[in-house]
């Protein structure tokens, strides 16, 4: 934990009457900062792109601060700071239009951040453009990802309204400065519709650069997709990512919360076998093996979590209590599942350890 002595850094606090000012008011002479913030939020009038955000947290009393942004993305986990101390944190954020789901509303231009936590205290903030798309490489010459694209459905997307949350919406908080998440998951999409809609794959693919990761989780809405078509669509997405120099990563779908009488999950509905008998997770595994693509077996991992919690304990992961919904996750559930993805990104060395937040 990086701390700052008060004799080195003067305390900057946010007053309730502080108003926002356009970032370009400074003509690019210095990065925009606290003048763009109120007591609860910040707005930076920046163009679409990728930005590094450096914050200093803390105040005269003990504080605990989290940061979110854009369409309810979790960007920085809640961070406690003792009274009179300062802690620096940083992250990289993707700013685009539409800012949430690709087929959804445009959202607010620029970068919007919100302060959360039990006792938020923002002492300083700076927003600067991230490095251009020239990729750095590891010692072995392997490109290091600077952006993670997400291709998925409503269980992954930036959900616009509470209590819904997708795991892709929670993933950014697990990443440090240098890697951003561009979440192009969209509610209701199958492999068929994702490839066919120009707002989706045709928009994502041109943005992929050498070394970028592209995580693909599509299955929940492939209810009428036959096996040959589903397999071919996954292969098309893999080839399309590789064509641009990116690294495809296939992700099996999160489970649905449907239990058998013995406390295990149903082999059909829960484990994503459609009405045609197509076993989506198994096909994803087969394509990953055949195409030599990294696999995140989120079906197996979420199944283990749900079954370990049981019928009652697993309700909090989904929206059962709020909506009798056993498919879509709560903020809590999405955060747990994003943590599983984070763990796999580390374990499979898809993202360098120094760019992943583990605690």
pLDDT digits (tens, 9 = 90+) for 181-202: 999 999 999 999 999 999 999 9
- HSE-CB at 191 with a 13 A cutoff on CA atoms is 28
Q: Name the pTM for this structure.
A: 0.90
Arithmetic mean of pLDDT over the chain? 90
pLDDT of 195 reads 98
Strand ranges of the sheet holding 147-152, from the earlier edge strand across to the other edge = 180-183, 147-152, 213-217, 247-251, 295-296
pLDDT of 189 reads 98
pLDDT surpasses 60 at 8: no
pLDDT of 131 reads 79
pLDDT surpasses 80 at 300: yes
pLDDT surpasses 90 at 62: yes
Q: Is the dihedral of CA 189, 194, 197, 203 positive or negative?
A: positive
| Residue 185 · residue 153 · CB < 8 Å | yes
Burial class (CB in 10 A: 0-12, 13-18, 19+), 344: buried
- Bond from prior residue into 283 cis (ω within 30 degrees of 0): no
Question: What are residue 318's DSSP bridge partners?
Answer: 329
pLDDT surpasses 80 at 216: yes
- The rounded distance, in Å, linking the Cα atoms of 16 and 235 is 53
Q: Is the dihedral of CA 85, 90, 96, 101 positive or negative?
A: negative
Show Cβ contacts of residue 82 under 8 Å, excluding neighbours closer than 6 positions: 58, 62
pLDDT of 31 reads 78
Show Cβ contacts of residue 75 under 8 Å, excluding neighbours closer than 6 positions: 53, 67, 68, 69, 91, 93, 113, 172, 173
pLDDT surpasses 90 at 15: no
pLDDT surpasses 80 at 26: no
Tokens of 79: 């961070």
For 75-130, write each residue's pLDDT tens digit: 999 999 999 999 999 999 999 999 999 999 999 999 999 999 999 999 999 999 99
- The rounded distance, in Å, linking the Cα atoms of 324 and 317 is 12
Percent of the chain with pLDDT over 90: 86
For 103-117, write each residue's pLDDT tens digit: 999 999 999 999 999
Q: Strands, DSSP E only, in the chain?
A: 3-4, 41-44, 49-57, 63-69, 73-81, 86-95, 111-119, 122-129, 147-152, 180-183, 213-217, 247-251, 295-296, 318-319, 325-329
Burial class (CB in 10 A: 0-12, 13-18, 19+), 353: exposed
Fold of 3-129: Jelly Rolls (2.60.120)
Evaluate whether the domain defined by 147-355 bears CATH number 3.40.50.150: no
pLDDT surpasses 90 at 14: no
For residue 238, CA distances in Å to 174, 193, 228, 294 come to 25, 16, 15, 11
Domain locations along the chain: 3-129, 147-355
How many other CB atoms are found less than 10 A from the CB of residue 92?
22
- What number is the average pLDDT over the span 351-356? 94
Tokens of 51: 């930005």
Tokens of 247: 């690294």
For 316-338, write each residue's pLDDT tens digit: 999 999 999 999 999 999 999 99
pLDDT of 72 reads 97
pLDDT of 32 reads 83
| Residue 272 · residue 280 · CB < 8 Å | yes
Show Cβ contacts of residue 136 under 8 Å, excluding neighbours closer than 6 positions: 143, 144, 146
For 235-278, write each residue's pLDDT tens digit: 999 999 999 999 999 999 999 999 999 999 999 999 999 999 99
Angle, to 10 degrees, between the axis of helix 227-243 and the axis of helix 280-291?
40
């Amino acid at each position: 934990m990086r701390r700052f002595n008060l004799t080195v850094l003067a305390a900057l606090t946010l007053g309730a009457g502080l108003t926002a000012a356009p970032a370009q008011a400074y003509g690019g002479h210095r990065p925009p900062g606290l003048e763009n913030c109120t007591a609860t939020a910040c707005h930076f009038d920046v163009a679409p792109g990728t930005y590094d955000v450096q914050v200093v947290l803390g105040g005269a009393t003990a504080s605990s601060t989290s940061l979110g942004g854009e369409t309810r993305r979790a960007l920085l986990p809640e961070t406690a700071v003792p009274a009179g101390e300062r802690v620096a944190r940083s992250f990289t954020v993707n700013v685009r239009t539409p800012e949430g789901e690709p087929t959804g509303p445009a959202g607010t231009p620029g970068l919007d951040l919100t302060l959360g936590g039990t006792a938020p205290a923002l002492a300083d903030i700076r927003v600067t453009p991230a490095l251009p798309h020239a990729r750095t490489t590891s010692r072995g010459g392997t490109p290091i990802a600077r952006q993670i694209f997400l291709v998925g459905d409503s269980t992954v997307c930036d959900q616009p309204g509470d209590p819904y949350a997708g795991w892709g919406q929670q993933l950014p908080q697990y990443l440090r400065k240098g890697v951003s998440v561009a979440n192009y998951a969209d509610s209701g999409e199958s492999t068929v519709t994702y490839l066919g809609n120009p707002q989706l794959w045709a928009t994502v693919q041109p943005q992929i650069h050498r070394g970028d990761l592209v995580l693909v989780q599509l299955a929940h809405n492939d209810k009428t997709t036959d096996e040959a078509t589903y397999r071919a669509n996954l292969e098309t997405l893999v080839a399309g990512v590789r064509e641009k120099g990116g690294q495809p990563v296939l992700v099996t779908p999160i489970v649905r919360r449907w239990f058998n009488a013995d406390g295990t999950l149903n082999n059909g509905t829960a484990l994503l076998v459609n009405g045609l008998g197509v076993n989506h997770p198994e096909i994803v595994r087969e394509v990953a093996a055949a195409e030599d693509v990294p696999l995140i077996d989120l079906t197996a991992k979420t199944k283990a979590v749900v079954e370990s919690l049981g019928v009652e304990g697993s309700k909090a992961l989904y929206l059962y209590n709020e909506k009798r919904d056993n498919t879509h996750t709560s903020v809590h559930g999405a955060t747990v599942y994003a943590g599983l993805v984070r763990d796999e990104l580390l374990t499979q060395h898809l993202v360098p350890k120094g760019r992943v937040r583990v605690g």
